[in-house]
């Protein structure tokens, strides 16, 4: 079942080296490595993936809009990366546990996030936007690469207990330069931990092109750690799903960790605080617009007569509903009262912090009744 992994011998950053099933114009290719992982994916499944990606893009656009309107402090857009996130996350089993970075809006969407979950952290109401236990997704991680080690530790627990779960971690091309990510690969390999590394190589770490992080295809590093890897076209949702199914099956079967590099592109800024016009060319964006993940699958589905204008319109309408719910949740959020700043630092009472809380409570109480004067 597991495809043969050929060593990567060149040092080019050519997307054509990545595994692909759908060409940018929507033509389906035969892929001897990955087709075996898609035998159950029919037109209805592909329409569902299309719908997921359309909704995700709409959520992302709403996040940007809410930030521009002053409702969010920050937003990290994932436009362009829909196929990577949806394709890989839809391959997960319910019992798997995910350790994402901050850009994985599509991953928490696929794991069943509620509309408010997308914005709670970015609005500054909470440190974590969603309930980790409910989604089986750790809080979005902002420290670059730190979460990869958490996934390995979680996977050690899985291995110890002998269950069929897999821990999955998402990170970017920039993170591959971090010590933590490399340490995570060493620990995962040494203990043969059931963990899947998903590197979303979106070509940019804020203003630094991937060439600053790596002069060699990133997936090519993993075999040096004893971890099999695949490099896939990250804008091809079918390739992403198939490759992730391979990686998950590998890890789930007790063969140890697996590694995916999904080559995609961050169409928007790093965050809403970033200005990519200072560091990248418009013609590069044009090039990637032609490789768009949604229009690619849409072209394929239309070509095989499995997607109508009505269906597209219905999907767009459903996406608008999600965006409206997200906006309503966002605008309706109630900020916790002042003393909540002290809540949850410790699980058990801490006398030093309790003293500070008492002092601040007394300070706040000293203003009570002043407004009426």
Partner 1 sequence: MTELTLGKALGAGLRQAMRDDEKVVLLGEDIGKLGGVFRITDGLLDEFGASRVIDTPLAESGIVGTAVGLAFRGYRPVVEIQFDGFVYPAFDQIVAQVAKLHYRTQGRVKMPITIRIPWAGGIGAAEHHSESPEAYFVHTAGLRVIAVSNPEDAYRSLRQAIASDDPVIFFEPKRLYHHKGDVDLDAPLADAAPMGLARVARSGTDATLITYGAMVSTALQAAEAAEDEGISLEVIDLRSLSPVDYDTVAASVRRTGRVVVAHEASREAGMAAEVIASITELCFEYLESAPLRVTGHDVPYPPAKLEKYHLPDLDRLLDAVDRVLDRPNSLTGADA
Contact positions toward partner 1, by CB under 8 A? 97, 99, 126-128, 131-133, 138-139, 143, 146, 148-160, 167, 179-180, 183-184, 186-187, 190-191, 343-348, 350-353, 355
Tokens linked to 219: 């997936």
Least distance from partner 1 to the Cβ atom of residue 163, Å: 10
Task: Give the closest residue to 243 by CA, choosing from 251, 255, 314.
Answer: 251
Among residues 143 and 331, whose Cβ is nearest to partner 1?
Answer: 143
CB nearer partner 1, residue 273 or residue 353: 353
Q: Judged by CB, which is closer to partner 1: 317, or 345? A: 345
- Least distance in angstroms from the C-beta of 165 to partner 1: 10
What the block records as the tokens of 253 is: 């079967």
Q: List the structure tokens of 237.
A: 């949702």
Among residues 139, 149, 270, 295, the alpha carbon closest in space to that of 202 is found at 270
270 included as an active-site residue: yes
279 a catalytic residue: yes
Q: One of 103, 245, 266, 300 is an active-site residue; which one?
A: 266
Per annotation, catalytic residue among 270, 291, 296, 300: 270
Kindly state the smallest distance separating residue 258's Cβ from partner 1, in Å: 17
Q: Which two tokens stand for residue 242?
A: 């198939």
> Which DSSP symbol is given to 206?
T
Active-site residue, 159 included: no
- Which residue out of 216, 279, 346, 363 is catalytically annotated? 279
Return the SS3 of 10.
Answer: coil
Shortest CB 22 distance to partner 1, Å: 35
Q: How far is the C-alpha of 306 from the C-alpha of 227, rounded, in Å?
A: 38
Both tokens assigned to 217: 């295809």
324 Cβ partners below 8 Å, 6+ apart? none
Q: Which is nearer to partner 1, 37 or 187 (CB)?
A: 187
- Active-site amino acid positions: 266, 270, 279
């Amino acid at each position: 079942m597991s495809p043969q992994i050929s060593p990567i011998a060149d040092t080019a950053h050519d997307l054509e080296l990545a595994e692909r099933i759908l060409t940018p114009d929507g033509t389906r290719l035969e892929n001897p490595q990955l087709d075996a992982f898609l035998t159950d994916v029919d037109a209805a499944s592909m329409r569902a993936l299309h719908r997921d990606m359309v909704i995700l893009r709409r959520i992302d656009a709403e996040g940007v809009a809410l930030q521009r309107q002053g409702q969010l402090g920050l937003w990290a857009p994932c436009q362009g990366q829909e196929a990577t996130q949806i394709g890989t996350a839809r391959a997960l089993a319910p019992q798997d546990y995910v350790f994402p970075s901050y850009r994985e809006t599509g991953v928490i969407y696929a794991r069943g996030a509620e509309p408010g979950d997308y914005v709670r952290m970015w609005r500054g109401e909470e440190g974590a936007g969603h309930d980790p236990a409910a989604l089986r997704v750790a809080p979005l991680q902002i420290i670059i690469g730190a979460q990869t080690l958490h996934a390995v530790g979680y996977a050690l627990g899985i291995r110890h207990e002998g269950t069929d779960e897999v821990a999955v971690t998402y990170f970017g091309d920039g993170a591959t330069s971090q010590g933590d990510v490399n340490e995570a690969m060493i620990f995962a390999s040494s203990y043969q931990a059931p963990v899947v590394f998903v590197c979303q190589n979106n070509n940019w770490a804020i203003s630094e092109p991937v060439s600053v992080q790596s002069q060699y295809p990133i997936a090519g590093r993993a075999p040096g750690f004893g971890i099999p890897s695949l490099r896939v076209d990250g804008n091809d949702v079918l390739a992403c799903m198939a490759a992730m199914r391979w990686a998950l099956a590998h890890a789930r079967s007790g063969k140890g960790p697996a590694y995916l590099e999904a080559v995609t592109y961050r169409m928007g800024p790093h965050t809403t605080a970033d200005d990519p016009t200072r560091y990248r060319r418009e013609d590069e964006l044009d090039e990637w617009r032609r490789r768009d993940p949604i229009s690619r699958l849409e072209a394929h589905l239309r070509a095989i007569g499995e997607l109508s204008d009505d269906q597209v319109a219905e999907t767009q309408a459903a996406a608008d509903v999600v965006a409206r719910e997200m906006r309503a949740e966002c605008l309706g959020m109630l900020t916790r009262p002042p003393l909540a700043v002290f809540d949850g630092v410790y699980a058990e009472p801490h006398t030093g912090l309790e003293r500070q809380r008492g002092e601040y409570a007394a300070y706040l109480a000293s203003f009570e009744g002043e407004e009426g004067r």
